[in-house]
Amino acid sequence: MSVLGEYERHCDSLNSDFGSESGGGGDSGPGPSAGPVPRASGGAAEQEELHYIPIRVLGRGAFGEATLYRRTEDDSLVVWKEVDLTRLSEKERRDALNEIVILALLQHDNIIAYYNHFMDNTTLLIELEYCNGGNLYDKILRQKDKLFEEEMVVWYLFQIVSAVSCIHKAGILHRDIKTLNIFLTKANLIKLGDYGLAKKLNSEYSMAETLVGTPYYMSPELCQGVKYNFKSDIWAVGCVIFELLTLKRTFDATNPLNLCVKIVQGIRAMEVDSSQYSLELIQMVHACLDQDPEQRPTADELLDRPLLRKRRREMEEKVTLLNAPTKRPRSSTVTEAPIAVVTSRTSEVYVWGGGKSTPQKLDVIKSGCSARQVCAGNTHFAVVTVEKELYTWVNMQGGTKLHGQLGHGDKASYRQPKHVEKLQGKAIRQVSCGDDFTVCVTDEGQLYAFGSDYYGCMGVDKVAGAEVLEPMQLDFFLSNPVEQVSCGDNHVVVLTRNKEVYSWGCGEYGRLGLDSEEDYYTPQKVDVPKALIIVAVQCGSGGGREDDDSQQESETPDPSGGFRGTMEADRGMEGLVSPTEAMRISSGASSSCPGWLRKELENAEFIPMPDSPSPLSAAFSESEKDTLPYDELQGLKMASEAPLEHKPPAGAWVTELLPLNQD
């Protein structure tokens, strides 16, 4: 299986006339209407180039579209909000510029981050933070009739109010708070966005007069056409939380006039279920929806209410932790406006083997679902997309009993890539496939495993049963985030962000690096020489290896593809060892193979014996002159006749009987 780049095309570079995020309020340079800034001349310092690859269009509006891009410098995903200035009125142009000015002023973990903006002739491109979990409106729709747990509502409430508190302290009135403008990451981190209608007020007591916003979230003072202030945003927050509690709009009507009447009169569509939610939470929502704006609490007063105050520090720490993996620092040292270089590229996934000799393209993994990493096990495949979602499916040959290694909650043989729904909300960075299990790592460094636990590869001391049908988190790494994972056929090795190596699973042949051949069912720390800094780990079918950045000479690999003492099975040949390879291995043996044992080998599945005499059989015949002591022969015979519950990999089996030539 492989990922192929179909083509690559460089588009025209775009010049930023606003500079980096160091700009504040637009004083550091001309606004977007000033037009493109020319490239630096030959005598001036060369401008920084930022490279972007378009992924897919997220949405379209009346004056432009939002497109998802991958920034190649740090492999991060960003959104470009593209605005066609030629289709805007003068006021709408000011609103577009206003959004840049507002976003440049705000820095908060619960507010959509502004990174940059560029001009391409008459198109304004605003580079913003990407939220991979959609928006709150869609989240509520997906609930259908299942109410949110109160803990989740409080978590959302805290984040929304924290964001509103930040913008109000900056003297900014949002004026368009609604579920469509509240975005989510897959880790349920809230991001308040869309500041096109925001307005900066000079003081807490300043009032605005323009009729703007979304009708369903308009405050009574807006409906009546009187002056309004920050308390109008608090009303909108109340409407949003009411929707979270009821899954219905707070006020609803068949036409705008009736809607305004209901808002002014306080006729809500329904009431909150007091048997489902606490009185304290319901009272907070009602306080936000007070008809008198003076009676509504401020954002800071909401944060100081007992329901939020008692958990405020805990939730603040959680927000910081969840935001850390994707947070990009704002630059304050850039003197030249960067240039954006857009590269058009597509990626496609091809698979072959398992009875298919010609590579076949997977139509499921394409376009907006482009692959960033692929992995193949003996029985299944896995792909991580650019949007950090995990897809798994079985190989095309099929017929193999599954043990939950696809992670879909059952043992069905899905023959087309299927999204692992149980990992919804988790940003998957990397995946690795074992023989009949799968392990993946999230952006936060947390580890999830699913599939067979025959050798303890789930890492939970076999407490989850013989088969784990859906992703299970390994709590062992909660306080020690994982950087990379690699799976052999029946063992796992991980590298943590602290550059520590852990391994577990089948310990046969010393593949765990723990100075024993014992099996371990929980992660065990591997002793690494202090002089080495491990930068990567990799498992073969019978053993693992570590790459370090020291200048010491690395261990000499065996010609078979692994280290000495370990022979990896060729998965493309279904794990069979060729006669030539078997002859090379047997020629280094110090003793012959008895006739009864040779017969066992001839009937074994892992060695295809030829119909006619060959150099292989000749090699066995010539070595029959030397025989093993009687007691050793009897031991081997008894071992061969004993039933095997679980056969080791083909390569490891042959290596056990016929040691590798050490010369």
Q: What is the pLDDT of residue 602?
A: 57
Query: What average pLDDT does the segment 331-345 reach?
Result: 59
Most confident of 80-84, 443-447, 570-574: 443-447
Q: How far is C-alpha 223 from the geometric centre of its chain's CA atoms?
A: 43
pLDDT grade, residue 349 (50/70/90)?
confident
Please state, in angstroms and as integers, the Cα–Cα distance from residue 484 to each residue in 71, 79, 138, 441, 498, following that order.
Answer: 21, 27, 33, 7, 11
Two tokens, residue 188? 């349920």
> Coil, strand, or helix at residue 191?
strand
Q: What is the pLDDT of residue 153?
A: 97
Query: What average pLDDT does the segment 188-216 reach?
Result: 62
**For 138-147, 238-247, 386-395, 588-597, which range has the lowest pLDDT when averaged over its residues?**
588-597
Q: What is the pLDDT of residue 451?
A: 96
> Coil, strand, or helix at residue 93?
helix
Query: What average pLDDT does the segment 512-533 reach?
Result: 93
Q: What is the pLDDT of residue 635?
A: 63
Q: What is the pLDDT of residue 226?
A: 86
The CA distance from 119 to 80, in Å, is: 12
Give strand ranges (E) for 407-560.
Answer: 418-419, 428-433, 437-442, 447-452, 467-473, 482-487, 491-496, 501-505, 520-525, 534-539, 544-548
Query: What average pLDDT does the segment 218-224 reach?
Result: 89
- Comparison of pLDDT for 129 and 348, the residue scoring more: 129
Return the residue matching tokens 């179909």.
6
Residues that are catalytic:
176
Query: What average pLDDT does the segment 359-381 reach?
Result: 81
Q: Is 251 exposed, middle or buried (0-12, 13-18, 19+ CB in 10 A)?
A: buried
Other beta carbons within 10 angstroms of residue 44's beta carbon come to: 9
CATH assignment, 362-548: 2.130.10.30
* Cβ atoms of 307 and 154 closer than 8 Å: yes
DSSP states of 236-259: HHHHHHHHHHHSS-SS--SSHHHH
The CA distance from 663 to 660, in Å, is: 9
Q: State yes or no: pLDDT of 638 exceeds 90.
A: no
Q: State yes or no: pLDDT of 622 exceeds 70.
A: no
- The dihedral built from the CA positions of residue 624, 630, 636 and 641, taken in this order, carries a sign that is positive
**For 34-48, 242-256, 304-318, 538-552, which range has the lowest pLDDT when averaged over its residues?**
34-48
The CA distance from 223 to 207, in Å, is: 15
Would you kindly state where each structural domain of the chain is located, as residue ranges?
9-129, 136-304, 362-548, 572-657
- Which residue type, as a one-letter code, is found at position 214? T
In CATH terms, the fold of domain 136-304 is: Transferase(Phosphotransferase); domain 1 (1.10.510)
Q: State yes or no: pLDDT of 136 exceeds 50.
A: yes
Domain 9-129 has CATH 3.30.200.20: yes
- Comparison of pLDDT for 356 and 373, the residue scoring more: 373
Q: What share of the chain is helix, strand, coil (3-state, %, to 5)?
A: 30, 25, 45
- Comparison of pLDDT for 34 and 453, the residue scoring more: 453
Q: How far is C-alpha 201 from the geometric centre of its chain's CA atoms?
A: 39
- Which residue type, as a one-letter code, is found at position 122? T
Q: How far is C-alpha 104 from the geometric centre of its chain's CA atoms?
A: 27
**For 108-117, 132-141, 352-361, 559-568, which range has the lowest pLDDT when averaged over its residues?**
559-568
Q: What is the pLDDT of residue 222?
A: 87
The CA distance from 219 to 639, in Å, is: 83
Two tokens, residue 632? 């050793």
Q: What is the pLDDT of residue 362?
A: 81
* Cβ atoms of 430 and 440 closer than 8 Å: yes
